[in-house]
Structure formats: C-alpha cells, structure tokens
A and B are shown apart, each in its own frame.
Chain A
Amino acid sequence: MSCKDVRCRLSEYVDGELDTFTRAQVLSHLYACEDCRRELHYLEQTVSLLKGVEAVSPPADIVGRVRTRIAGESKRADSRGVWYFLSTPQFRAAAAACLVLGICTYGLIHFDAADPASQADKLAVVVPPAESLDQAAPRDAGSVSTVRDGRVSTSDGLKADEPVRPLASAAPVAAESTAHTMARAAEGKVGDVTHVDKMQPQTVAKSKDRISAVEKPDEPGGVALANRKTTAGPRAARQQDTATVRIADANSGAGLEELAAEKRPAAVAPASAAAMEAQADADKMRGASVAGAEELAFASKKTRGDEPSPKKDEPAAESAASAKLASGRPAARERAEVSSVGQRTGLYEGNEYRELERKQTAPRREAVARGTSQERGADDGLDSFVGRHRLVSVVASNDIAMRGVVKALEAFDRRPNRDSKGALKADASNTGGLGSAAGGQGSAGFTIRIRRGEYPGFVAELRKVGSVSERVMSLNAEDEPRAPVDTGRAGIASSGTVQITVELLDE
C-alpha cells in the first residue's frame, strides 16, 4: 500500500471504521513510514481539536418561540379560509381543467351553431310542381311534410298544427321556422304544394338562409331558381330586418335586378316576417328568381370577380320579366326545387349562374344531423374539392361512400403528377375507402357529374377503382344525379361492388 493510499484511509483509521484487513495493511505501512506516522499524528490532533470545539449556546426560549410560531401559522391558515383554499395548487389545477373543458365545450357548440358549411347541407325545402306532387316521394329525405291549401300533413303522421320538434339548442329558430312555413302556406301564394323536410328543426331554419338556384338564360322560360342567403345563423334568421329581392330575367338578359329593399324592424313578429317571405316565394313560383343580394354578391365575387351590377331602379322591367316567366314556363321548369339534403353554392361562368350542388342520401343526412366531427370533416373535404375543381355535383349512396369519395378525390388533388389542366389522375392505391363504400357483398358508390372534356383521363382512372358507367348529358339537363342504389353497407369490406356513374355534361 502506498503512502497516498494510506493517507486516504487515515481518517477512517482514526475513527476505527476500517475493516480488519485494510487496517492491518495501514498499520504495516505506518510501521515502516515515518511521514505517514507524522500525518496520522497531525490528523489525530486535528480531530481532537474539532471534537473539543465548544458548542455555541442557542438563544433562550426557543421552545416558546417555536410554539408561538406554530400557533401563528395555524391561525393564519385558518384565517385564510376560502382564499387559502383558492390558492392551493390542487384548486388551481382543477380550475384550469374546468376552464379548458368549458372553452372546448363552448367551442364545439359555437362551431355547430355558426359553421355555415355544417348547417347548409341540412337544407330542407322542396317545392315541386303541382302535377308532380304525387310522384314527389321522399326520394332521399327521411320524411316529408306537405303543405297543401294551408294545411300541413306529414308523411310520418305529424298533425297539421304540430310544429316540428326542435332540438334543444335550436328551439327558437325552429319555432320561427315552423311559423314561417305555416305562414307561407296560409298565404296561399306558394303554389299548390310545399314540401318541407322535417329532418331537423334547425335544418328547416337554415333552409331560409340558403336557397340555391340555376338560371338558364339560353332557354325561353328557363328555370330561374331562387338563391337567397342571409347571414347564416339563428340570430340572423331571427333578425331579418332587411329583405333584398332580386330577379334574374333570363330571357331578356336584363340581369339581376333588385326588386325591393324593404326595411323591417327587428322586432317584427315572426309571422309577419314569414308572410313577407311567403310573398317572395310566391314570386319565385311565378318564375322569378328570388335571390338575396348578399348571396349573389358573395357568389359572384367568389367565382368570377366581375359581379353584374344590380339595377335598382327597374322594378317595372323586372315585374314584366316575372310575369313573362310565370306565364310561359313549362310546369317542369317552374319547379323551384332546393334539395333537402344538398348544399348548393352559386357559380358564375360567363353569363351563366350555375349551381354546384352536393347531395347525399338519407343515411348520410342522418349522420350529419348527428353532427359527428368525422362527417363534418368529410363535408369540408368535399366542399373544398368541389369548389376547387368546379365539379358539378357528386352524389354518393351512403355516408361510407361519401367519405370514400372525399378521400379519393382529395388523394387525386394531392397528386403531384396532375397535368397542366389540373386534371385528376387516379390510381387504385389512392382511392382507399371506395372499396369499403360498397360494404359486404352489396354495391354502393357514387355519381359524379363533370363537364365533358374537363378532366381528360379521369374516367379511365376511375375504372381502376370501380365499375364505371358513363352517361353523356346535355348541359341543360335538369334531372339531378342520383346515387347508385345502396344495396349493402352492412359491413366494411372491400369485396363489394363500387358503382361509379360519371355523368358528362356535353358542352
């Protein structure tokens, strides 16, 4: 053992903490090394001095002062009471958690109430021609309320004066909406029949906010559908103190006219407001296109940027145009139909005001009505896609198919190898969800309506993922795309048949 090793152990040696073997080694070294013996002696003297250090006297009455301090702290803790409780970390953590939860809940509720996209697809007013009333079976609606001669009857047995039962969050709006519908029926100017989808009360309420239309100026007496939109939301629906009405004279090309700007107080009775809107609907049934100035301006700015300036001082011309349309239009073209389940947005192309419509089937609508975020996500994706690519319409058999459509089309959209025209290219790998859209051994799918030649190669790509049938249609075709029959969505499987109908609008 070296001197360094021994001196490292001298402290323990002094305290008798070394084990027997190490102690023997140290002793052996000390016996032979005088320097280490001297260091040991110095260390023993140092330890002796340290142990001899006199203790300092503590202050007197530490016991009493400690007692006083303990009593003071206890009293202070008691006097703090509620504030002390509020200042505890546990309470702060709980309060923070509650705050976050409350904000999230409010955000979800507010989102549901204010998001026009999530509400617009619950549109639910159908006004078919009188002669087609009997055929107006609820094609894709859950049930239909029929207003005839001021009486309301429903396909599922609701009584005439039974208001559509509102959801808790939309009760005032729903009540007003019901009153609105009843008032329109009572006016007797709505036409023979008004179908009111009773899917959800707030759906009916929102139907006042957005009604889309297609104007077909190239045909005499072409359909002029209403496009009226106010600021979405229950509040706007209740405080509709300005009614702006426009008429699009398709035949004369006079453009959109502002029929009237009628100021109404905010406190007007709902029935009164409804009666005024019923008048507007009556005009619509006569062939006039009733459109909200806000909507038209919004739509035209959004799509083209050069909005046709409304002429505010031509009421006579527009009245004449209305009369002309009302008198000369075939019954089928008088149909001012707004899908009960679709969302329509206006789009100007050249001189045409064309609608982009999305429809879905009843199961999907129910899913949307439940308001699942997944469905909203699908809606957003499809809306975004339709808006970007100017698809005319997409109709799916069920919600699974709709999600598949969204997923597939979004996959198309993300592909880097789009051609110069922005045409969509697809392959089987990026159409996940289409196979499962059919489900089981059944079949389901979607119908997509596009302009012929708009997306070269798109149909060929679609053939890779499903059974595609093409149909060339006139640009002015009035029948609406229908989804393939949903014959099996019992399970999620890829063995089902995906029916894809491509309707090519011949330009």
Chain B
Amino acid sequence: MKDGVVVAGTGAVDPDGEEFARRFRAGDDKAFDGLVRAYQSRMYNLAFRILHSHEDADEATQEVFVQAYKAIGDFEGRCKFGTWLYTVAVNICRNRLRQTKRRAQFEVHSLDAPSDVSAPPPEAVTSKQDGPPARLERAELMKLVEKCIASLPAEFAEVVVMRDMQGMSYEEVAVAVGCSLGTVKSRIARGREAVKEKLRPYLGSREI
C-alpha cells in the first residue's frame, strides 16, 4: 500500500521521512504531519505483528507519534530519526504487550466458551486441500506465514519484521531493539529457523 511518502512494509528508512524529521526538529510543526504519514504504516505493521490486534496496533501507533512529538527534544540525531522512532515503537509495544498478558492472567475464562484447541492448527488448514502442500494457494501460504510470525515470541517477531518485512539493516535493528549486533543476528536466524520449520511441509524444490 502507499501512504503518500513511501511504500509501507517494503522500503528502508526513507530519506523523505528524515527530511520531515529535520524540519520538525527545526521548529516546523506542520512537518510533523508529514512525519506521521511517512512512518505510520511501518509503525502500525510493527505494532500489529507484535500485538496481534488491530485495535492495539492503532492505539500503539498513535502513542508512538504522540510520544515522539513530546520527546522530540530528546532525539540527539546520533542515529536516523526512523531508527529512533522504531526504538520508541518497540518500547511502547513491549509495554502494551506486557499489560495485555497481565490482563489475560486475570481474565475469567468460561468453560462453555469455544476453546482455541478446537481451532485447526496452521498445518491442518493447509493440509485439508488436495493433499499435497505444493498445491496450496499462495494466498493461503501467506496466511500461514503470517500465523507463523504471530506464533513467534515478541523478541524474535520484532527483529524478523524489521529485517525481512521492513528491510532494515542489522545495525538499525540492533539500535531499535537496544541489543548488540550479535544478539540481533542470532535472533533473526532463530526466528527465521522457526518459521522455516513450520513451513517445511510446504517448502520443497518448487519455486515459491
């Protein structure tokens, strides 16, 4: 999709966003709107992949920009503005995820409510069709990939999303998540390996 500035989910930190950031730091308040447009898709997608909820992702995205607006004075320019914004987003998403898990611990589950156990596993979804996974439609395969991403722990999901879905470099990911480069490499490799193992039945010699 397009948001007017950059193709969301595909490009790296774009120079347009950096220009908006420069103007906004210089005191141009209207540049903030362009800044939001430049990064809203990436922030929303990152939040959605971590929080697995559109509502939470929407709230988190707004909070990211509000925090950025209020804390723009703390941005010292040592890294790209986009990278700094990812740092804000990762922290907000982690906090919200922590709150969500805490709420879930105290939620009362009804025994009559339908259980997730009855839901078919991702593999079953794909295997009910004509038998061989190779015949799986690409759309269904992409849904399966999304489920695989959603099943990853947050610390692996965020780095995989930033690296593979949003095209950030290892260094940028390391700054965004606040870890060393080696840790980021390890997490990316393990995240990919986990997805690969879940997709193994549908991977083969065929071209994807």
Contacts and interface: CB of A to CB of B under 8 A. Distances in A.
B178 to A, nearest CB: 20
Contact of A55 (B8, B62, B145): B8
Nearest to B167: A51
Contact of B40 (A51, A53, A62, A70): A62
A49 interface: yes
A12 B182 CA distance: 11
Interface string A23-67: 000000000000000000111011111111111111100110111
B48 A56 contact: yes
Interface string B53-89: 0100110011001100110000000000000000000
Interface in B157-208: 160, 163-165, 167, 170, 185, 188-189, 192-193, 195-196, 199-200, 203, 205, 208
Contact of B208 (A15, A49, A54): A49
Contact of B36 (A12, A41, A53, A66): A66
B66 A12 contact: no
A66 to B, nearest CB: 4
A56 B44 contact: yes
Interface string B124-146: 00000000000000000110011
Contacts of A66: 36, 62, 65-66, 69
A73 interface: yes
A69 interface: yes
Contacts of B196: 42-43, 46
Contact of A50 (B48, B61, B160, B170): B160
A43 B191 CA distance: 11
B62 A69 contact: yes
A8 interface: yes
Q: What interface size band does chain B fall in?
A: 35 or more
Chain B interface mostly helix, strand, loop or mixed? helix
Contacts of A50: 145, 149, 160, 164-165, 192, 195
B151 interface: no
Nearest to B145: A49
Interface residues of A, number: 32
A17 interface: yes
A17 B199 contact: no
Nearest to B194: A46
A430 interface: no
A66 B188 CA distance: 32
B17 interface: no
Nearest to A14: B192
Nearest to A69: B66
A11 interface: yes
A62 B36 contact: yes
A7 B115 CA distance: 38
A48 to B, nearest CB: 6
B88 to A, nearest CB: 13
Contact of A58 (B41, B69, B163): B41
The 9 closest A-B pairs by CB, nearest first: A55-B9, A11-B189, A58-B44, A50-B164, A46-B196, A66-B65, A63-B36, A55-B8, A62-B40
Given A55-B8, A62-B62, 5 more contacts: A11-B185, A41-B205, A45-B208, A62-B44, A65-B62
23 contacts: A10-B189, A11-B185, A11-B188, A11-B189, A11-B192, A17-B170, A42-B200, A42-B203, A43-B193, A46-B203, A49-B195, A51-B167, A52-B142, A54-B142, A56-B48, A56-B57, A57-B41, A58-B44, A58-B61, A59-B54, A59-B58, A62-B36, A63-B37
